[in-house]
Structure 1
Amino acid sequence: MIDRSPDLHPRYELAKQVIRHFRTPAFYEISQRCNIWCEGCYYFENRHRLRVIDEPSTGDWESFFEREAARGVSMAYFVGAEPALERDRLLAASRYLTYGKIGTNGTIKLDPDIRFRIGVSVWGDDETDTLLRGGSILRKALRNYAGDERAVMLFTLSPWNLHTVPAVLAASRDHGLPVTFSVFSPTRTYSDKIAAQFPADDEFFRLAPEKGIPVFSADDLLRLNDAMTRAMDEFPETVLCTPGFRDVITQAGPLFDIDPNTQVARDCGSRIVGNLRYHSTALTAEAVKCCTPDIECRDCRLYSGVWSSQFIPDARFLRSRETFVVWLDMMDMLGRIFLFPLPEIYRQAGQATA
């Protein structure tokens, strides 16, 4: 493809260099605590989640991240319940690792010395936030991260909040914050509770007994695709998304090749195999299936799995020059969403194509 389109060579080099930043990734559970109660929480709605009784000291975390840097970790993902509750652990990581992404609910402003990308979880406007998360989380997050160059608002879309997209985008734009998208994907624990008609509780299973499972039907996926299209068209300076990513994440049916025996995705880029490791707060590498261990693979549309499965363009992106450009656009956007600060290669690519 590049041989037939030499003018795309600079963009292809940019794509390759972006992908190299993900060559040795690792997930780190930073905290077992959280300060809010999100319906269907990926962490707490997991009956098999790892529980560490005696967590290591700050010095142990420091030594651990020093070893991880020596191991060659090129991209770190800081997850768990709420990483921002463990400031010292994140500071320790930032002293040794160059690139990382912190998943946070945004209610706690992270220390400016923590120089990683910050993915601020968004679930809707004030009314929807109160319903799904127990309070006006978005308002606090916007106040904490307004104009913060590290922050990207990660809007997890579901049938319960799709109507709030314009309001959330407008508020984020007004606070100088870009927005990208994921799609709610239930854990096995959450799905099983719904199927078994468990009664509601007062924590992470409040709404499902009455409202059902918040996943998009085949028809609803068309609405989702349309909502993402309008978002890109109406808020081009705010939305970090591409038509290629939109079409992948909204396609009907399972997004991955599901093993019929285990019901586990065989081709998801977020599977914990090869160089990819997942560490609990005990600082041990755990034998879990993926970056969100209890997620239901057949219903998974998490942006992490979708993005990490695009590093090698498949047949749909190799049909023509135009489809290959769609993939190049995705790789450019991948870097803009996950890498902070943006590598020098972005400036060089801009000069080359100017």
Structure 2
Amino acid sequence: MSDVSSLHQQRKLAITERLPQLLDGDPELAARFQAVRGFSARVRAAEYHLTNACNIRCKGCWFFEFGHDKSAPEAKALDDWTAFIEAQRKKKVNAALLIGGEPTLFIDRIAAFVERMRYVSISTNGLKAFPNVAPFENVTVFITLFGGGPLDDELRAIKPGGTRFTGLFDTALANYADDPRACFVYAVTEGGLSYIEPTVRRICDNGNTVTFNFYSQYNTGHPLRMQNEQRLLREMLRVRERYPDTVLNHPAHIEAMVTGQAWCGSFGYDTCPSISQDHPDNQARLANGNPGLTFFNTWKADLQTLERCCTSGHCEGCRDSQAVYSWLIVSLAGSLASRETLRTWVEVAESYWRQFIWSPYRSGPRERVAQSGRAADPQPLEMLA
């Protein structure tokens, strides 16, 4: 038996034998585990570059820094998009994350996904309001935010021609006031330490939620080289504790983003599951025995070409919030050291799903089991091993 096959067998054995032991005698944890495991197994996601166009040019944006807008042409005909989406559905994908460029520039393409996929999320810069009418009421809207305070305008309020403007965060707040679909993806930075709490407070007062991410200046060649890592970690955890209904990250997820370490190991390319499963450059990684996301691929806007992963393809130092979340969620077998590590896994998975308007977990942290759904199917559960 190969080392990889042996590793798979060990993980399956751990889930089969160790998991029941940890759940036995704790019915509340068992119910929460089955609920979040079942829902996770039903969501089969892929990511799509909806367009190569964008109405701003953020500093450090990996999409433009690495020429993703020029690496493949953009499909223009709506019929081509609808045929592509139908083909994706036949491959059992039912959840679409639409990024860009800027997705809100092409509402008709978003509508094509909404009409054909069960779960849809978009990532937007917030400059344009995304309609909150049928059929878009259940589309999760992730709004990008860099640095907080005046840093957001400094880093993002730049038109394609280079002209600067002001008030981008104010515009996003106005566009999505009291919108339950909206979750700000707040890329914190060491230089913006003092802006974290005031920025979160404004999001809270605006009736929205927020999930912490990192701001990485890819164009410097030094992503995430923070001199005061622990100061930033402490401040993120403090603000999260003060605004628990607004900041959706679990503390363990925040720590994993900042340090690259968690109870289940170390984050990096060798363990990251948010890579295109069908990309030839990833086949050696997928053969190393660490779990991946069974149906996941990231598609360029030509509807033919695969990106290497969910972000830039430059893995050194990457701590993308969603990629780190996916890593923690697929690491079930590595979360069985104790009942407490299993409880942490459950809580992290629940906090991840709170980001999405179409998830039963978005309604609140204590309304989970009642909306749990059925147990997980065997095939999708491979991603949790």
TM-score (norm: length of structure 1): 0.82
**Aligned-pair distance for 1:256?**
4.9
Matched, 1:46 2:57: no
- Worse-superposed segment, 72-81 or 248-257: 248-257
User: CA distance change for structure 1 residues 350 and 140 in 2, over 3 Å: closer, same or farther?
Assistant: same
Matched, 1:37 2:57: yes
Distance in 2 (CA, whole Å) between partners of 1:301 and 1:18 is 25
1:146 aligned residue? 177
Return the offset for 1:181.
0.7
User: What is aligned with 1:241?
Assistant: 249
Aligned pairs (5 A) from 1:62-77: 62-77=82-97
Which residue pairs with 1:26 in the alignment?
Answer: 46
What CA RMSD, in Å, does the superposition of the two structures yield over aligned residues? 2.6
Distance (whole Å) between structure 2 residues aligned to residue 326 and residue 257 of structure 1: 17
- Partner letter of residue 290 of structure 1? C
After the TM superposition, which parts of structure 1 deviate over 6 Å for at least 4 consecutive aligned residues?
Answer: 343-346
User: Shift in Å at residue 43 of structure 1?
Assistant: 0.5
The whole-number CA distance in structure 2 between the counterparts of 1:298 and 1:283 is: 27
Moved more, 47-56 or 57-66: 47-56
The 3-state SS of whatever aligns with 2:325 is helix
Distance 1:242 1:130, change over 3 A: same
Structure 1 CA distance for aligned equivalents of residues 139 and 295 of structure 2: 21
Among residues 2, 8, 30, which one is paired with 2:29 in the alignment? Answer: 8
Which residue identity does 1:291 align to in structure 2? C
Q: CA deviation at 1:224?
A: 1.9
Which consecutive residues of structure 2, in runs of 5 or more, have no partner in the other structure? 1-21, 158-165, 278-293, 373-385
Select 2:150's aligned residue among 109, 114, 127: 127
CA–CA distance in structure 2, aligned partners of residues 256 and 50 of structure 1: 33
> How big is each residue's C-alpha offset from its partner over 1:65-108, in whole Å with a ceiling of 9 and x where there is no partner?
22222322132111111111111110111001111221101111
Whether 1:326 and 2:374 are equivalent positions in the alignment is no
Tell me, yes or no, if structure 1 residue 349 matches structure 2 residue 369: yes
Provide closer, same or farther for how the CA distance between residues 68 and 10 of structure 1 changes in structure 2, counting only shifts above 3 A: same
Is the partner of 2:228 in helix, strand or coil? helix
Question: Aligned partners of 1:141 and 1:85: how far apart in 2?
Answer: 15
Once the two structures are TM-superposed, the CA of residue 52 in structure 1 deviates from its matched residue by 3.7
The correspondence of residues 78-227 of structure 1 with structure 2, limited to 5 A, is: 78-112=98-132, 113-114=135-136, 115-134=138-157, 135-187=166-218, 190-192=219-221, 213=222, 215-217=224-226, 220-227=228-235
Partner Cα separation in structure 2 for residue 289 and residue 245 of structure 1: 24
- What secondary structure does 2:323 align onto? helix
Size of the aligned set, in residue pairs, is: 320
Distance 1:223 1:179 in 2: 20
Contact residue 256 and residue 298 of structure 1 kept, 8 A: no
Question: Residue 18 of structure 1 contacts residue 331 of structure 1 at CA under 8 Å; is this kept in 2?
Answer: no
1:156-185 CA distance string (max 9 Å, x none): 112232321111111111110011111123
Distance in 1 (CA, whole Å) between partners of 2:352 and 2:362 is 15
Q: Does 1:312 align with 2:344?
A: no
| Residues 99-156 of structure 1 deviation map (CA, whole Å, 9 limit, x = unaligned) | 1221101111112232311101111445212211123211011000011111111101
- Give the match's secondary structure for 2:330: coil
Would you say 1:271 and 2:275 are equivalent positions? yes
> Is the CA contact 1:221–1:252 (under 8 Å) kept in the aligned structure 2?
no
Change (3 A) 1:186 1:20: farther
Structure 1 residue 290 displacement after superposition? 0.7
Deviations 1:263-288 (A, max 9, x none): xx1210111115211211111141x3
Distance 2:225 2:201 in 1: 24
Q: Larger deviation: 6-15 or 327-336?
A: 6-15
Instruction: Provide the rounded CA distance (Å) in 2 between the counterparts of 1:70 and 1:79.
Output: 22
Q: Could you say what secondary structure the match of 2:237 adopts? A: helix
Amino acid at match of 1:167: P
- What's the CA shift for 1:233? 1.8
- Bigger CA drift: 55-64 or 38-47? 55-64
Q: Distance in 1 between matches of 2:145 and 2:351?
A: 19
Does the 8 Å CA contact 2:275/2:297 hold for their aligned counterparts?
no
CA distance in 2, matches of 1:223, 1:9: 36
Does structure 2 conserve the Cα–Cα contact (< 8 Å) formed by 1:123 and 1:157?
yes
- Compared CA separation, residues 230 and 348, structure 1 to 2 (3 A): closer
Measure, in 1, the Cα distance between the counterparts of 2:112 and 2:96: 13
Residue 283 of structure 2 corresponds to: none
CA-to-aligned-CA distance 1:29-74 (integer Å, 9 cap, x gap): 0011111121111210014655444623112212222222232213
Deviates more, 1:316-325 or 1:270-279: 316-325
Residues 11-42 of structure 1, C-alpha deviations (whole Å, 9 max, x = no match): 111221232144x3211100111111211112
CA distance in 2, matches of 1:238, 1:54: 36
